[in-house]
Amino acid sequence: MTETAAHTTGSFTPPTRFAVPGRIEVDGAAAGTWQTATLTEIRRETHRASTFRFAVPGWAGHLPGQHLMLRLTAEDGYVAQRHYSLASAPDDSGHIELTLDHVEDGEVSGWFHTVARPGDRIEVRGPLSGFFAWPGDRPALLLGAGSGVVPLMSMVRHHRALGLTVPLRLLVSARTPGELIYARELGTETTPVFTRGAPAGTPVGRMTTAHLAPLLAEAPAGGWEAYVCGSNSFAEHASRLLVAAGQPVDRIRIERFG
């Protein structure tokens, strides 16, 4: 291994395979400021997930794939904060949408699903993190499971809203058709995979190489940028499938919900 001279000039690049570079510069001021978000609408997606629409007049705008930090404050000053992906496509309306799973005994998602109503005010800061962002430039292969489809849906919506022609495919896993978030909105770009139950004739089971093979076979020139989002166990499984199918590791971006 050769010594690098980088410690005195220029920037240091590790002598290892280069990790996935970030996609965009992040606005530190927007990321650092808490803003009031007013709940304007609640839409049910499945029996466990709902979409919450907020007016955030000072919203700096975001790219699909980014997330925000949200906080709820109790009377005694106790604060609970969590990260949520932006579900809505970027637009200039000063509104954003989040889609939350109702986690059993969840402190924050429980408040949203049982107490929240239009007019309620909460606080958000963001958008955060440029790593999982998709500006709509490179062909994108999206793999999600459960609420992991949320940031990917922002990408699908962005693609549609701008009428982009860059290829985009979504492979999404849900337990059953009834638990597939955004089912009505998904189109020909989407292949659903059902892990627990489906109508007769539709296969049931985990995502496999067989689901990925046709998508990788139709890879556009320059290849896919892969975005994987969901629980850690899904992220591990799906990213291994991608690597096994030949997707380069430095073209795989992973957002784990923990």
Partner 1 sequence: MNTTRGFTGRPRAARPGLPPGQYDAGDDWPVLSAEVTPDVSPADWTFRVSGLVAEPRTWDWAGAHRLPASAYSGDIHCVTGWSKFGVRFGGVSLDTFLEAARPLPSATHAVAYSHTGYTANLPLADLTGGRAWIVREYDGQPLAPEHGGPARLVVPHLYFWKSVKWIAGLELLDHDEPGFWEQNGYHARGNPWEEQRYSGD
Ligand X SMILES: Cc1cc2nc3c(=O)[nH]c(=O)nc-3n(C[C@H](O)[C@H](O)[C@H](O)COP(=O)(O)OP(=O)(O)OC[C@H]3O[C@@H](n4cnc5c(N)ncnc54)[C@H](O)[C@@H]3O)c2cc1C
Q: Which of 172, 148, 141 is nearest to 83 (CA)?
A: 148
From the list ligand X, partner 1, none, which binds 123 (C-beta under 5 to 8 Å, kind-based)?
partner 1
Residue 220 CB burial class (10 angstroms; 0-12, 13-18, ≥19): exposed
Site for ligand X in 129-168 (CB under 6 A): 147, 150
How far is the C-alpha of 104 from the C-alpha of 258, rounded, in Å? Answer: 15
Binding partner 1 (rule: CB under 8 A), the pick from 32, 58, 118, 246 is: 32
C-alpha 211/C-alpha 22 separation (Å) is: 28
Going by C-beta distance under 8 Å and a sequence separation of 6 or more, which residues neighbour residue 35? 56, 58, 59, 123, 124, 125
**Binding mask 35-64 vs partner 1 (x if CB under 8 A, - otherwise)?**
-x----------------------------
Q: Is position 102 an interface residue for partner 1 (rule: CB under 8 A)?
A: no
Among residue numbers 60 through 99, which ones bind ligand X (CB under 6 A)? Answer: 67, 82-85, 99
Six-digit token string for 221: 């020139």
List 38, 131, 161, 175, residue binding partner 1 (CB under 8 A) = 131
Helix axes 232-244, 209-217, angle to 10 degrees: 50
How many residues bind partner 1 (CB under 8 A)? The answer is: 65
Q: Does 2 participate in binding partner 1 (rule CB under 8 A)?
A: no
Tell me if 3 contacts ligand X by CB under 6 A.
no
CA distance 236 to 242: 10
* Residues 119-140: b if buried by 16+ CB within 10 A, e if exposed: ebebbbbbbbbbbbbbebebbb
HEC string of 62-74 equals CCCCCEEEEEEEC
The nearer residue to ligand X, 107 or 250, going by C-beta atoms, is: 107
Residue 101, binding choice from partner 1, ligand X, none, Cβ under 5 to 8 Å by partner class: ligand X
Query: Which residue of the chain is nearest ligand X when measured via CB?
Result: 106
Q: Which two tokens stand for residue 16?
A: 């290892």
Can you give the binding site for ligand X, defined by CB under 6 A? 67, 82-85, 99-101, 103-110, 147, 150, 255, 257-258
User: Which residues make up the interface to partner 1 (CB under 8 A)?
Assistant: 1, 3-4, 6-8, 11-12, 14-20, 22, 26-29, 31-33, 36, 69, 71-75, 77-83, 107, 111, 115, 120-123, 125, 128-132, 232, 235-236, 239-240, 242-243, 249-250, 252-256, 258
